[in-house]
A and B are shown apart, each in its own frame.
Chain A
Amino acid sequence: GENVEQHPSTLSVQEGDSAVIKCTYSDSASNYFPWYKQELGKGPQLIIDIRSNVGEKKDQRIAVTLNKTAKHFSLHITETQPEDSAVYFCAASIGSSASKIIFGSGTRLSIRP
Chain B
Amino acid sequence: GAVVSQHPSWVICKSGTSVKIECRSLDFQATTMFWYRQFPKQSLMLMATSNEGSKATYEQGVEKDKFLINHASLTLSTLTVTSAHPEDSSFYICSAKSGTATMLYGYTFGSGTRLTVV
Q: Determine how close the nearest CB of chain B comes to the CB of A42; give it in whole angstroms.
A: 6
Q: Determine how close the nearest CB of chain B comes to the CB of A11; give it in whole angstroms.
A: 15
Give the residue name and chain of the B residue nearest to A1 (CB). B60
Q: For the side of the interface on B, what is the size category?
A: 10 to 19
Per DSSP, are chain B's interface residues mostly helix, strand or loop, or mixed?
strand
Q: Are B46 and A100 in contact (CB under 8 A)?
A: yes
Q: Are A43 and B107 in contact (CB under 8 A)?
A: no
Q: Which residues of A contact B104 (CB under 8 A)?
A: 32, 93, 98
A42-81 near B? 1/0 per residue, CB < 8 Å: 1111100100000000000000000000000000000000
Q: Which residues of A contact B32 (CB under 8 A)?
A: 99
- The tally of CB-CB contacts under 8 A between chains A and B is 43
Q: Are B112 and A103 in contact (CB under 8 A)?
A: no
Q: Which residues of A contact B109 (CB under 8 A)?
A: 36, 43-46
Bound form: Cα–Cα A19–B49 in Å = 33
Q: Are A44 and B43 in contact (CB under 8 A)?
A: no
Known A32-B104, A41-B114: A106·B49 in contact at CB below 8 Å: no
Q: Are A100 and B111 in contact (CB under 8 A)?
A: no
Q: Are B106 and A44 in contact (CB under 8 A)?
A: no
Give the residue name and chain of the A residue nearest to B49 (CB). A100
Q: Are A99 and B49 in contact (CB under 8 A)?
A: yes
Q: Are A89 and B44 in contact (CB under 8 A)?
A: yes
Residue from A45, A49, A100, A105 within 8 A of B43 (CB atoms): A105
Q: Are B49 and A34 in contact (CB under 8 A)?
A: no
Q: Which residues of A contact B114 (CB under 8 A)?
A: 41
Residue from A36, A42, A49, A99 within 8 A of B112 (CB atoms): A42
Counting from the closest, the 3 A-B pairs by CB-CB distance are A43-B109, A43-B112, A43-B111
Chain B contact residues, CB within 8 Å of chain A: 6, 32, 34, 42-44, 46, 49, 93, 104, 106-112, 114
Instruction: Identify 18 new A-B residue pairs, CB closer than 8 A, beyond the known A41-B112, A43-B110, A99-B32.
Output: A41-B114, A42-B112, A43-B6, A43-B112, A44-B44, A44-B93, A46-B109, A49-B106, A89-B44, A93-B104, A99-B49, A100-B46, A100-B49, A101-B107, A102-B46, A104-B43, A105-B42, A106-B43
